[in-house]
Amino acid sequence: MDPLLISARFCGPNSSGNGGWSAGALASHVPERGLGTASEVTLHRPPPLEHALRVCTFDDVATLLDGDDVVATARAVVDCPTPVPGVAAEIARAAESRYPGLVDHPFPHCFACGPQRAEGDGLRLFPGTVDDVDARPRVACTWTPDPSLAGSDPELVDAPVAWAALDCPGAWSVDLAGRTIVLGRITAVLDALPRIGEEHVVVGAQLGRDGRKWHTASTLYDADRRVVGRAEHVWFEIDPAAFS
Which residues in the chain show pLDDT less than 50?
A: none
Which pTM was predicted?
Answer: 0.95
Q: What are phi and psi of 98, to 5 degrees?
A: -100, 10
Counting Cα atoms < 13 Å in the Cβ hemisphere of 69 gives 10
- How far separated are the first and last CA of the chain, in Å rounded? 32
| Dihedral over alpha carbons 32, 166, 215, 225 (to 10 degrees) | -100
pLDDT (0 to 100) of residue 243: 60
Q: Is the CB of residue 16 less than 8 Å from the CB of residue 51? A: no
pLDDT per residue over 126-140, tens digit each? 999 998 777 789 999
Per this entry, what is the length of the chain?
Answer: 244
Report how far residue 143's alpha carbon sits from residue 68's, in angstroms, rounded to the nearest whole number.
38
pLDDT (0 to 100) of residue 175: 85
Amino acid at 193: L
pLDDT (0 to 100) of residue 31: 82
pLDDT per residue over 51-73, tens digit each? 999 999 988 899 999 999 999 99
Counting Cα atoms < 13 Å in the Cβ hemisphere of 109 gives 11
- HEC string of the chain equals CEEECCCHHHECCCCEECHHHHHHHHHCCCCCCCCCCEEEEEECCCCECCCCEEEEEECCEEEEEECCEEEEEEEEECCCCCCCCCCCHHHHHHHHHHCHHHCCCCCCCCCCCCCCCCCCCCCCCCCEEEEEECCEEEEEEEECCCHHHECCCCCEECHHHHHHHCCHHHHCCCCCCCCEEEEEEEEEEECCCCECCCCEEEEEEEEEEECCEEEEEEEEECCCCCEEEEEEEEEEEECHHHHC
pLDDT (0 to 100) of residue 116: 97
Among residues 66, 72, 60, 69, the alpha carbon closest in space to that of 160 is found at 72
